[in-house]
Amino acid sequence: MDVTGDAVSRPATKDQRMSTRTLPVRNPRTGTDDYEIAVADPDEVELKAARLRENQKAWAAKTLEERLDVLRQWVGAFAQKAAEFGQLEAIDTGGTHTSFVQGFITMDTIKGVIEDAPGAFERASVHRTSVSMPTVEIRSQFVPYPLVGVISPWNAPTMLAMFDAVPALAAGSAVLWKPSEVTPRFVPFFFEIVNAVPELAKVFDYVLGDGATGQEVIRQSDLICFTGSVPTGKKIAVACAEKLIPCYLELGGKDPVIVTETADLERATTSVLNGGVYATGQVCYSVERIYVHESVYRPFVDLLVEKARRVHLNYDNPRAGHIGPFTFGKQSETVAAHIADAKAKGASVLTGGEVEIHDGGTYMAPTVLTGVDHSMQIMTEETFGPMLPVMPYRDIDEAIALANDTVFGLTASVIAGTEEEAIGIGERINAGSIFLQDTFLMAGKGRTIGTNSFGFSGVGGGRTGPDSILRFVRRKGLLVQHGPVADILDAKFEER
């Protein structure tokens, strides 16, 4: 199977054929619609949700270790199909490196939850005497939300969904997943692997469709996890508020990097280039704006341009080039509009900057821009493309003010002469994760720390860290009175 698309030959499942509406799916590398999905209608979503809810009762009644044993079986099933699965997701995304290894990333995600879950619940458990009432003993209980709805995006589609689905399943919830209609080909094959573990298949299912299908998932769920755009995230937040159910939203960023006058420019330019254009810049924590001290601004730009020109578009071989096509064809229109806006306001494009069509796929080379400022969309709105807009600053206070001049706050980076200098700057930037002496370090925090996003970048608790599983349970307190009970007849007010 190659990434130009053989997945269309996979037959629709029985549940898919219940639908009366279909959607075409575009192949990112050919630009043609060569796949079709059957859109789940409201009755289908309701039917699947009801089945999952019923099966969740027995799933939640299992011990944590019993549920983890089922997940271990899932790892075993994935191990047999991981490479083939990566090939299939690569068709959807256009062939990023992450897609080719996504089967193995999924296995690592499951293994990580298996390893971390017992400790998370142990740390959160309470069995002790009350601090304020010494005769009262308190025990904790964790009750999983019955049905968790996961609505995932088109970039890194499996990985971003599994950050939520796997811990939810381990916690005892059932999961109904609505993947993006832009990248749906891999999903039936993914669930062939799920169905190899019958106990898991009872509590994990999917529906295909567009925004209307997502709305139905919200109506049926007790908790929602969504990764995607701010406009859609706002709609989901409102829908969840109307139901008074929790929602966890990751909504992207406009991630800055500060390069100080003491930084090693070789290191800085290499790191910034990778952070800005990896996966064609279609990552929520991609570098989107670069602030460089004025004393090193020109040599930094010259070196960045030289390295950017060596990046190869992979239209001839998805495994050999550096960056691929836009996964979502319309994303190139947003990128082009941001470039046009910047140029109209005085910016200069030093590399790239033009949408290129190769064999039907839509590409853009790494694009370095200078003469940029915060009047331009490319410095204030999420671009989601291989953009490298560079702006000079006079002193570190100005750099920090520029970095914080945003409605977003997902990640930021600092590259300085010393780690101590970088830490001091990073502590003043408003973002949930600060990468120091490098960019693009999000994978490093995965199982280690949970963080909160700032501004429009996210709502709800952290989706990473060993305690992220606790998002999917409600905590109960069982209070036992070992002493005499209070008697209303003895109650009286006493002066102090």
409 contacts: CB under 8 Å, gap ≥ 6: 253, 430, 431, 432, 453, 454, 455, 456, 457
CB neighbour burial string for 111-143, b if at least 16 within 10 angstroms, e if fewer: eebbebbeebbeeeeeeeeeeeeeeeeeeeebe
What CATH number has the domain bearing residue 293?
A: 3.40.309.10
CA pair distance 261, 167, nearest whole angstrom:
43
Is residue 108 one of the residues assigned to a domain? yes
Does one domain contain both 153 and 192? Answer: yes
* Residue 12 pLDDT > 60: no
The two three-digit tokens of residue 67, written as one number: 């549920």
Is residue 93 one of the residues assigned to a domain? yes
pLDDT tens digits along 363-375? 999 999 999 999 9
CA-nearest of 189, 85, 120 to 472 is 120
Does one domain contain both 231 and 263? Answer: no
User: Please, which pLDDT band fits residue 78 given cuts at 50, 70 and 90?
Assistant: very high
CA pair distance 62, 139, nearest whole angstrom:
19
Does one domain contain both 16 and 54? Answer: yes
Is residue 29 one of the residues assigned to a domain? yes
Query: Which residues are paired to 435 by β-bridges?
Result: 413
Q: Which domain holds residue 212?
A: 7-251+462-478
Which stretches within 153-229 are classed as H helix? 157-171, 186-195, 198-201, 211-220
CB neighbour burial string for 161-182, b if at least 16 within 10 angstroms, e if fewer: bbbbbbbbbbbbbbbbbbbbbb
Does one domain contain both 313 and 432? Answer: yes
Does one domain contain both 66 and 204? Answer: yes
Distance set, CA 138 to CA 34, 118, 387 (Å):
59, 20, 55
97 contacts: CB under 8 Å, gap ≥ 6: 279
* Residues labelled catalytic: 250, 284
pLDDT tens digits along 28-42? 999 999 999 999 999
**What is the bridge-based pairing of β-strands 356-358 and 361-363?**
antiparallel
Is residue 490 one of the residues assigned to a domain? no
What CATH number has the domain bearing residue 70?
A: 3.40.605.10
- Give the mean pLDDT of the chain: 94
User: Please, which pLDDT band fits residue 274 given cuts at 50, 70 and 90?
Assistant: very high
Does one domain contain both 288 and 431? Answer: yes
Q: What percent of the chain has pLDDT over 70?
A: 95
Q: Hey, what's the torsion of the CAs at 57, 58, 61, 65, to 10 degrees?
A: -130
As to burial, measured by CB atoms within 10 angstroms (0-12 exposed, 13-18 middle, 19+ buried), residue 157 is: buried
pLDDT of residue 5: 43
- Between residues 261 and 13, the one the model is more confident about: 261
Overall number of domains in the chain: 2
- How many residues belong to the chain? 496
Does one domain contain both 421 and 344? Answer: yes
* Residue 4 pLDDT > 50: no
Is residue 19 one of the residues assigned to a domain? yes
Q: Tell me the one-letter amino acid at 137.
A: E
The two three-digit tokens of residue 350, written as one number: 């030093």
User: Please, which pLDDT band fits residue 101 given cuts at 50, 70 and 90?
Assistant: very high
pLDDT tens digits along 308-340? 999 999 999 888 878 999 999 999 999 999 999
Q: Are 323 and 388 in contact (CB under 8 A)?
A: no
Mean pLDDT of 333-348: 98
pLDDT of residue 98: 84
Is residue 493 one of the residues assigned to a domain? no
* Backbone angle region of 135, left / alpha / beta, with phi > 0 → left and psi within -120 to 50 → alpha: alpha
CA pair distance 236, 226, nearest whole angstrom:
8
pLDDT of residue 318: 86
User: Please, which pLDDT band fits residue 97 given cuts at 50, 70 and 90?
Assistant: confident
Within 103-189, strands assigned E span: 127-129, 136-144, 147-151, 174-178
Does one domain contain both 36 and 146? Answer: yes
Does one domain contain both 207 and 344? Answer: no
Is residue 447 one of the residues assigned to a domain? no
pLDDT of residue 18: 53
Does one domain contain both 53 and 106? Answer: yes
pLDDT tens digits along 165-218? 999 999 999 999 999 999 999 999 999 999 999 999 999 999 999 999 999 999
pLDDT tens digits along 448-485? 999 999 999 999 878 899 999 999 999 999 999 999 99
Does one domain contain both 74 and 160? Answer: yes
pLDDT of residue 496: 66
Does one domain contain both 324 and 431? Answer: yes
Is residue 456 one of the residues assigned to a domain? no
